[in-house]
Chain A
């Protein structure tokens, strides 16, 4: 592997490997079939502090940088990316509040999740997917409170979260009319509705959340009124890089399984790895994994240096999730008929990886972002 790990990073990866082997591997198949994780499935992850890795120490976290956190989560995603994204979504939501600079609010948030609770980030609605500016759910100021109304869809951790970072409309002014709020699950008027029964990433909860005259203190506004779009973009920039790292984990697993199988499976009297077309598939898969990992690593390092990753994050997420489709599909191909069987591990990887082209902004929208940034870069003075 081209990426060199420090001794610390390698030790952290080993810790998660041990966790994956003992706590996930024996259960993933059942939980995937059930379409959800059972009660308590995250208890040991909380004990280890996996939900707080990237959170700064002043907020009770472990204080690892983005680069190292990503390496750890790549390893976890080899066992199950849905399990991993449940933890990622939580700390990314917190990070979006930390980035707005309100320490008190961020500390309040961190104190809620630190003992072992989840957070969620909620922007999408039934009519506001790619077009985030179409958010219709409203927040109306009433004295020292805001009153929230509307329905949010496709909320990762919707049903698990104790706290939401949610985007509501405070004025009609398009993107500028959006504001971000911290909403505690315990507020009256919140109900969790439809649970998506997904083709993949089935250990991750995706649910609809309804807000019916939910009253929250005005202090729960993140930043100022009108900052909602910025909060969302900040959050998405980080989560794009992290979902890309999870896709690398899925791909690496697909590659590991494929090479092992190709060495073991014999046809025409020899292991199928001896056939050139199988070799070509494996070589392309390995190259894609390598390129993806390096791209993720570079984006993470940029984030660690407080650089904007608007373009690079979009590129990384798009490239990685596109090649991941081929890598997982070729894994199934190499397994032949056994590839589509649920008795073998690779069909799940193919199911799990599809959504990476869709969420955190579809790859079509990412290409628009990349082009917009390019256009700006090449603008004549």
Chain B
């Protein structure tokens, strides 16, 4: 079974100076670049598929060479078999919010793919379009928000997708299939030191966007030009903070807190 998992580099939220840095993806410190947390569940789902049915997992990442090198090696140290870097140096406008993204990612050269897997969203810009846009570009079916995977003996999957207010369970026989994995779907494994050491020495496949097999650069440009990003910003979040008590006067703090939580039906 051939499984492709798409992963994105984001700045470690613990290390990003502020939220906007995070959204813009300021990339000064290689060690501050991590696999998009949501993609960790996608990798785990891919590895579980491989372990269930035997096969190969290829991770694909688009971005700067520095970023994709770092996170693809991180993915290898989790057990992914191969990494493909797609450098967007020749396509500055190709960001994760570009409508052309799926068209490019779908061209990653991996043969006979059974499942294409993405995380549900990116931790920096919180968009969740990658899975759908890859599916559209490949013209294959797409299952969104997968929260539970059951592996059937005939290599079909029974998938449960969950949204805030609904749940959908179905058995999917078609292949290939694009899956977008929810962050509650599994607990990602930790990297092993042995795989980490091997990952340091591994050779990654490297392509520029314009070097990808069968890529139609003019078409990508046309799609990319269909929409222009004017502004990327974080919305103002209304503060819900209430100060219940003064730290210097903690005599009644506990009883006040309990009373207030009860008032709001939290306790």
Contact = CB atoms under 8 A, between A and B. Distances in A.
B184 to A, nearest CB: 15
Interface in B174-203: 189-194, 196-197, 200
A19 B30 contact: no
B230 interface: no
A7 B30 contact: yes
B31 interface: yes
Nearest to A15: B191
Contact of B194 (A7, A14, A62): A62
B241 to A, nearest CB: 17
A111 interface: no
A18 B74 CA distance: 13
B30 A47 contact: no
Given A266-B247, A269-B248, A22 B190 contact: yes
A12 interface: yes
A11 B196 contact: yes
B31 A18 contact: no
Contacts of B31: 7, 10-11, 14
Interface string A15-58: 10011001100000000000000000000100111101100000
A190 B47 CA distance: 42
Nearest to A267: B248
| Majority SS at the chain A contact face | helix
Contacts of A14: 31
A63 B198 CA distance: 12
Contacts of B200: 8
A15 B196 contact: yes
A360 B230 CA distance: 65
Interface string B229-267: 000000000000000000110000000000000000000
A48 B193 contact: yes
Q: How large is the interface on B (under 10, 10 to 19, 20 to 34, 35 or more residues)?
A: 10 to 19
Contacts of B190: 15, 18-19, 22-23, 44, 47-48
A331 to B, nearest CB: 21
Residue picked from B30, B189, B191, most chain A C-beta under 10 Å: B191
A172 to B, nearest CB: 46
Nearest to B77: A15
B193 A53 contact: yes
A50 B196 contact: no
B197 A62 contact: yes
Nearest to B196: A15
B30 A62 contact: no
Interface string A51-82: 01100000000111000000000000000000
Nearest to B246: A266
A63 B200 CA distance: 14
Contacts of A19: 190
A7 B29 CA distance: 11
B191 A48 contact: yes
Contacts of B248: 266, 269
Interface string B107-119: 0000000000000
A23 B190 CA distance: 10
B196 A47 contact: no
B167 to A, nearest CB: 27
Interface of B: 30-31, 189-194, 196-197, 200, 247-248
19 contacts: A7-B30, A7-B31, A8-B200, A11-B31, A12-B193, A12-B196, A15-B190, A15-B191, A19-B190, A22-B190, A44-B190, A47-B192, A48-B191, A48-B193, A49-B193, A50-B193, A53-B193, A62-B193, A63-B197
Given A15-B190, A48-B190, 15 more contacts: A11-B31, A14-B31, A15-B196, A18-B190, A23-B190, A47-B189, A47-B190, A47-B192, A49-B194, A50-B193, A52-B193, A62-B193, A62-B197, A64-B193, A266-B247
